Amino acid sequence: MEIKILGTGCAKCKSLDKITREVVEKNGINASITKVEDILEIMKYGVMSTPALVVDEKVVVKGRVPSADEIKKILTA
């Protein structure tokens, strides 16, 4: 599984990155996590408000920080 955190480095973006990494580690999910901070790269996903969570090239959350439970549901579905 390939996970991307889209965000320019704001507090919410850092929070999403931290929560996602914790969920992956805690649940033993086999995933690589990449942080994308380049605004042009972020816009390629059609994301206008960050942070955003991309799983296997599909935008699953944008413009907010989901709870750890929500991230777990997304990643284990």
**Is 61 one of the catalytic residues?**
no
Q: Given 3, 5, 13, 16, which residue is catalytic?
A: 13
Residue in 2, 9, 10, 39 annotated catalytic: 10
**Per-residue b/e over 23-57, b at no fewer than 16 CB within 10 Å?**
bbeeeebebeeebbeeeeebeebebeebbbbbbee
Query: Is 12 noted as a catalytic residue in this protein?
Result: no
Would you name the residues annotated as active-site residues?
10, 13
